[in-house]
Every structure is written in structure tokens, then in C-alpha cells.
Amino acid sequence: MLLADFGTSYCKLLDTDSDVPPRLIATRSIDRSMKVDIATGHNGKRYASYYVNELTALARGGLKLINEDSFTLLDCGSRDIKYVEYSDAKIKDMGWNAECGASMGFTIELLEKYYTLDFFRIPVPETSFSVTCGVLGMSHIFDAVVSGESEEAAVAKFVKGIAVNAYNFARRPDKLYLSGGLCDNPLFLASFPCPVVSLGRFVLLEGLLAAAPDLLKK
């Protein structure tokens, strides 16, 4: 069985009949004739026999991976941010933001490449920019650089601003579990005002695995 999370920038694929770990492929490289058994992600419907909503996949994946009855799981992708909050093993709240969370992950990746930055060595700044949109928020960086701030310091404030915005969107939990590509960015992880547990890029695939038995019975 082939499972896929078709993200904006990257596609995550898992073949359950193989011992090969999940694969990460640039979305622009995907064969448009590809067909998978079960998919999620904003492009998933066109490629799959069964489609699972992203929030559903996130919620199911969180339950499978997190050994707690009450938790908040936030997914930060290239295009949007979304979260689920559990209380006593039941969904208490959830949210999906494709507007104020627009292109945050994608913008951070662009800035990393454009300025040739190493997020493993950039310290967390004391202050941050107010960032509610990845694209529009870049103006803060340009203004700061023109005023004499280093590119590295300006981008660090931008990244912290994105983390703070995502934290507020997830209702300011005492502890946060994180999913998505930004799990690989140490500056982003350290910029949250609460402890963060990184679950990596493949949480939604775990949700599809959990949902598969019910779907295939239909």
C-alpha cells in the first residue's frame, strides 16, 4: 500500500509493503500520473483512491505518536499552519490558518538559501518582528538590513516572529508538539516561548497509517 502526504513544497511517500523508510520528494518533481492508495495534503485528491483531510491525518498521527491523553500538536508546513488540541484523549479544539500563516515555512527556506544562512549556528534573538504572514513579513527584514542590521540578525528576528505567531495561533500551550518541515530548523524550535517536542515531517503519514484499516473496509 502506498501512502502520501502531498505538501506544497515536498511530498512524503511511504510504501507499507517495503522496509524502506518514508521518502521526501520535491513536489515539483512528482510524476503527475502517479497514483497512491491513500493521500492527504492540498494536492492529495488528484493522486489518490482515498483522501484524508489534513487535520484528520494530523490528529490521528498525533494520537499514534504521543503517549499522552492531553496535548497540543502544531503542524508548520510550507503553505499553512494547523493544530489539534486533545484533552483526555478527545479532541478539544483545532484550527487551520492558510492566510495569517501564509507561506511561512516556504519563506524561511527561501531566506535560508538567498542569504546562505546556517540556522544551526544562529542564536535566538532577544526580540522579534511581528510576523503574521511569511510573504508580507519579509519587509521587516529589508527595512532592518537597510537600517544597518546584519542579514543574519534580521532573519533571526523574522523566524522568531513566525514561531511566536504560530504559538499564539495554537492557543499558547504550556508544551507544544511540532510537526512539519520546520522541525529541521533549530532556530525555529528554540524560538518558541514554551518547551517544544519535534516529531518530524512524517506525522501525517502516521495518521494515514492509523486511518487505513477503516478506509479499506469501505
Claim to verify: residue 206 and residue 194 sit in the same structural domain: no
| CB distance 195 to 167 below 8 Å | no
Burial of 141 (0-12, 13-18, 19+ CB in 10 A): buried
Of the candidates 185, 24, 41, 176, the residue with the CA atom closest to the CA atom of residue 104:
185
Claim to verify: residue 54 and residue 112 sit in the same structural domain: no
Of the candidates 73, 77, 98, 91, the residue with the CA atom closest to the CA atom of residue 178:
73
pLDDT, one tens digit per residue, over 104-162 is: 888 899 999 999 999 999 999 999 998 877 777 889 999 999 999 999 999 999 999 99
Q: Is residue 172 part of a domain?
A: yes
Claim to verify: residue 162 and residue 211 sit in the same structural domain: no
pLDDT, averaged across the chain = 92
pLDDT, one tens digit per residue, over 165-183 is: 999 999 999 999 999 999 9
Domain extent at residue 41:
2-66+202-216
Cell numbers for 70: 492531553
Of the candidates 111, 162, 104, the residue with the CA atom closest to the CA atom of residue 135:
104
Claim to verify: residue 194 and residue 206 sit in the same structural domain: no
Q: Is residue 124 part of a domain?
A: yes
Q: What would the mean pLDDT of 61-69 be, rounded to a whole number?
A: 96
Give the CATH number for residue 30: 3.30.420.40
| CB distance 105 to 137 below 8 Å | no
Cell numbers for 123: 542564536
Claim to verify: residue 116 and residue 193 sit in the same structural domain: yes
Claim to verify: residue 51 and residue 23 sit in the same structural domain: yes
Claim to verify: residue 107 and residue 187 sit in the same structural domain: yes
Claim to verify: residue 209 and residue 180 sit in the same structural domain: no
Claim to verify: residue 173 and residue 211 sit in the same structural domain: no
0.85 surpassed by pTM: yes
Q: Is residue 91 part of a domain?
A: no
Assign 196 a pLDDT band (cuts: 50, 70, 90): very high
Claim to verify: residue 189 and residue 211 sit in the same structural domain: no
Give the number of domains in the chain. 2
Cell numbers for 196: 517544544
**41-66 burial, b for 16+ CB within 10 Å, e for fewer?**
bebbeebbebbbebbbbbbbbbbebb
**The predicted structure's pLDDT at residue 152:** 97
